Homo-oligomer: A and B are copies of this chain.
Amino acid sequence: MSPLVRKLEQFVRLSSADRAFLNRAASERLRKFGPRVDIVREGERPKDVQLVVAGWACRYKQLEDGRRQVVSFFLPGDICDLNVFILREMDHSIGSITDVAIADLSREFFEEISGGYPRVVTALWWESLVDAAIQREWTLNLGQRTALERMAHLLCELFFRLRLAGLTSGDSCDFPLTQADLADASGLSKVHVNRTLQELRSANLIVLKGKTLVVPDLRRLMDAGLFNANYLHMEREGRQLDAIE
């Protein structure tokens, strides 16, 4: 099952027609990119909505003097900016981290959804509300948490999101981010990211080696990061969804 469908099914019960429709959307108009290239650039006119079918990407913003902030990570199954085509120009860039496969979703695609797939509409709303909630949590993360808490929190979030998309196995997952990526996302320097990871390692909170992350005791990592998963809204909402159907 595709990561997108798998993720959305945690929120909304989809029909097989819904699933088929989403899978078709994810396979048409596919583009592939190598690692570390720009997929969309700040200032461009947005044309389509991007769906990450495979690989990791990120949204980032950059200041004139080169300081760079990763403002979100895109994992397989993530959708970039529902409905952006309303806007005249992009206020951020989207870049690949690994090899990446992107499906472009057109305006017409969304009109088709609105017409005939009400549960998919709900699911996409959900996705975009969670996206906003993640951005708020990052604000809290950067504004209030110490380096250690911040790192632990970020790793927890990624682990939860990967698990939701079916991309973990037991307590481990692929982890292609470099320490420089983590620095750009956490607002810390590369050197301090390194120090912080060492600290997490020596507390046995993580095993991070090569491109694999192992979280031996998720509960303890969550505590270290003051991590509360409520903002990921991972519960399926029975009552309300029935009302919509």
Contacts and interface: CB of A to CB of B under 8 A. Distances in A.
Interface string A189-226: 00000000000000000000000000000000000001
Contacts of A61: 136-137, 139-140
Interface residues of A, number: 47
A126 interface: yes
A177 interface: no
Contacts of A112: none
A235 interface: yes
A64 interface: yes
Q: Of residues A89, A91, A135, A240, which shows the largest number of chain B Cβ atoms within 10 Å of its Cβ? A: A91
B140 A143 contact: no
A37 interface: no
Given A83-B129, A132-B135, A144-B187, 13 more contacts: A43-B230, A67-B145, A68-B144, A69-B139, A69-B144, A81-B129, A86-B122, A86-B129, A86-B237, A91-B133, A91-B137, A91-B231, A142-B142
15 contacts: A42-B230, A61-B136, A61-B137, A63-B140, A63-B145, A63-B226, A67-B145, A71-B136, A71-B139, A71-B140, A86-B240, A88-B233, A91-B230, A92-B231, A142-B142
